[in-house]
Amino acid sequence: MDLESLYQDIILDHYKNPRGRGLREPFEAEVHHVNPTCGDEISLRVHLDGDTVVDISYDGQGCSISQASASVLYEQMIGNSIAADLKTADAFLALMQGRGQVEPDEDVLGDAVAFAGVAKYPARVKCALLSWMAWKDAVAQSASGQAHKENS
Amino acid sequence: MTISSAALAGLLDVDTVAKDFPILSRTVRGGNRLVYLDSGATSQKPYQVLDAERAFYTRCNAAVHRGAHLLAEEATDAYEGARLTIANLLGAVPRELVFTKNATEAINLVSYAFSNATAKSAHGRALPHGAERFILAPGDEIVVTQMEHHANLVPWQEVCDKTGAVLRWLTVDDQGRLDLDHPEHGLDAVVSDRTRVVALTHQSNVLGTITPVQRIADAAHAVGAIVVLDSCQSVPHMPVDVTDLGVDFVAFSGHKMLGPSGIGVLWGSYELLESMPPFLSGGSMIETVHIDSSTFAAPPQRFEAGVPMAAQAIGLGAAVDYLTALRSLDGTNQGMAAVAAHEHALTSYALNRLSEIEGVRVIGPTDTHERGSAVSFVVDGIHAHDVGQVLDESGVEVRVGHHCAWPLHRRFGVAATTRATFYIYNGPSDVDALADAIVGAQKFFKVI
């Protein structure tokens, strides 16, 4: 049975006990992303201080995979430089799109390696990526917002 | 408790039927028997349909309605023969049937008649006799229902955006029935002399609810509105006679009724079809063509531009032949009546089995009165996607999500549901497999 490889204990734990959930102030950008095929949605805010990701806050509804991946994202990303986090996000994207052929690097991904099994279920990859894509979008928006402020 | 097939009156001989469907003998996810409960999305295909398509390509493939050679004659005869077969199923005459890509295209064919007639009229361009019924003005109203599939909602939103018409809707009550007597959102409040179109489903693809079409059509016709019926979930599942329904247009897909993908049907009263401007334009749909203008063929050819999907139409004709030849195990029903009786029995059994599972809530009517076989539900504490994943692991294939009826899901305050739909090849053991798998999901996610 592959269910255990999909729903690893780490994922179920993050689903039942989400870390960092709830929308908080301050933030530089807020985005709202949806998965139009199933209606899952997430609102996500990022708070940056210079080059550092200080906070990620989020709220949403969806399946265990989409909600757990937001919780893992929060835990994995805050306190790091934007550049390091973007690298992590790229590694996660590569893992998710790898159809189970990509060997995950735990040093880069941390708890996010638990999602390796999701890559074998193409219909669920979008669930796992929902919050990560929202995060990337929010970081891009806040970075361009900051650049705009510095230029004005 | 589980039940034997013999105890359910009205069933088809499922074991014999299933032998005609090669896909049902495959195994899934680690050798499990395939329990296909997603026919509401698309049905499986019997050999008879696959063979009809293959025979067309191996015997008489040619572009229909063009050319004078033998193959073209035979291909055209087969294509028009399929139109006759389908017309007979519906109590219609063949020239009232337009072949489309699917039901979505069939509904768009009607919705574009409104926006195209309105646009051409604004520029004083030629329109067919009687086309004024399709010309909309700002403030005109189009009425839909809260339970529509996006296919019978979004096209009407588009018409409103293009013409300035206003969209209104009938609401759904807590039991999943249209709330036609609601003081603010009921039939009397929503349908008025401003109403030009009433577009509704015959049977909800989520709730299973069969709508009171006649009552709504009567109210619409009393104010001169045109009634468009989405019959995707009715024509494949019950006897439907278009002359009894009292509506102006009926749209459905072939692939949900054993037919191939890529074929849908629009039925319309001939008088209305004649008064509509074209939808897609190009070859086949013309009468005369000059470099600066054209005139158009009579229906249905006016709406069948380009080389049509002949093999698919012929496949759908074979599917109709298959359905009309079915008989109940007890011999009391034949054809679509036998299909309806079979699904009625299974739905009743499924509603009973689901009601025995704590933490499962059906969204839609919980009795079988005016109800088809789409059974949608939520499982407390488990998102529909996760329910579907665990079910899939045991071979039970259901639909999860909003089933292209997002506003309806919002109405019930749920983001997603799990939906089981039944068809002629499903039996009581499939219902048992569903119920067992739901309990399995509850155990896996530790909600019981």
Same domain, B338 and B390: yes
How many residues can be counted in chain B? 448
Where are the extended beta strands (E) located within A13-51? 29-35, 40-49
* B38 in a structural domain: no
Q: Domain range spanning residue B165?
A: 54-319
Which residue in A3, A39, A62 is closest to B393 by CB distance?
A3
Question: What ipTM describes this predicted complex?
Answer: 0.90
Query: pLDDT tens digits for chain B (448 residues)?
Result: 566 555 688 999 999 999 999 999 999 998 999 999 999 999 999 999 999 999 999 999 999 998 889 999 999 999 999 999 999 999 999 999 999 999 999 999 999 999 999 999 999 999 999 999 999 999 999 999 999 999 999 999 999 999 999 999 999 999 999 999 999 999 999 999 999 999 999 999 999 999 999 999 999 999 999 999 999 999 999 999 999 999 999 999 999 999 999 999 999 999 999 999 999 999 999 999 999 999 999 999 999 999 999 999 999 999 999 999 999 999 999 999 999 999 999 999 999 999 999 999 999 999 999 999 999 999 999 999 999 999 999 999 999 999 999 999 999 999 999 999 999 999 999 999 999 999 999 999 999 8
Same domain, B183 and B126: yes
Domain C-terminal end among B299, B319, B339? B319
Rounded to a whole number of angstroms, the distance from the CA of A148 to the nearest CA of chain B is 36
Domain C-terminal end among B255, B290, B319? B319
* B47 in a structural domain: no
pTM score of the predicted model? 0.95
Contact by Cβ (8 Å): A124, A104:
no
CA triplet A81, A84, A90: central angle to 5 degrees? Answer: 140
Q: Answer whether A38 sits within 8 Å of B416, measured CB to CB.
A: yes
* B430 in a structural domain: yes
Number of H helices, E strands in chain A: 6, 3
Domain C-terminal end among B297, B319, B341? B319
Which residue is closest to A61 within chain B, CA to CA? B415
Tell me the residues of chain B between 17 and 76 that have a Cβ less than 8 Å away from chain A. 29-30
Q: Answer whether B402 sits within 8 Å of A65, measured CB to CB.
A: no
- Among B379, B389, B418, the residue to mutate for chain A (most A Cβ within 10 A): B389
Amino acid at B410: R
* B157 in a structural domain: yes
Q: Is A7 at the interface with chain B, CB within 8 A? A: yes
* B257 in a structural domain: yes
Scored b (16 or more CB within 10 A) or e, B363-379 reads: bbbeebeebbbbbbbbb
* B411 in a structural domain: yes
* B44 in a structural domain: no
Token pair, residue A40, equals 């899952």
- Closest alpha carbon to A128 in A109, A144, A147, A145: A109
Same domain, B302 and B334: no
Q: Answer whether B415 sits within 8 Å of A39, measured CB to CB.
A: yes
Q: Annotated catalytic, B404?
A: yes
Measured CA to CA in angstroms, residue B373 lies from A25, B28, B152, B210, B382 at distances of: 48, 24, 20, 10, 23
Measured CA to CA in angstroms, residue A44 lies from A15, A17, A61, A138 at distances of: 17, 18, 12, 7
What CA dihedral angle connects B74, B80, B86 and B90, to 10 degrees?
A: -150
The number of CA neighbours under 13 Å toward the Cβ of B294 is 15
- Which of A107-112's residues contact partners 24+ apart within 8 Å by CB, and which partners? A109/A76, A110/A72, A110/A75, A110/A76, A111/A10, A111/A14, A111/A72, A111/A75, A111/A76, A112/A69, A112/A72, A112/A73, A112/A76, A112/A88
Which residue in A2, A39, A64 is closest to B386 by CB distance?
A64
Q: Answer whether A63 sits within 8 Å of B390, measured CB to CB.
A: no
* B289 in a structural domain: yes
Burial of B122 (0-12, 13-18, 19+ CB in 10 A): exposed
CATH number of the domain at B375, please. Answer: 3.90.1150.10
Scored b (16 or more CB within 10 A) or e, A102-116 reads: eebeeebbebbbbbb
Q: Is A118 at the interface with chain B, CB within 8 A? A: no
Distance CA B175, CA B178 (A): 9
Domain total in chain B: 2
Same domain, B69 and B143: yes
Same domain, B115 and B217: yes
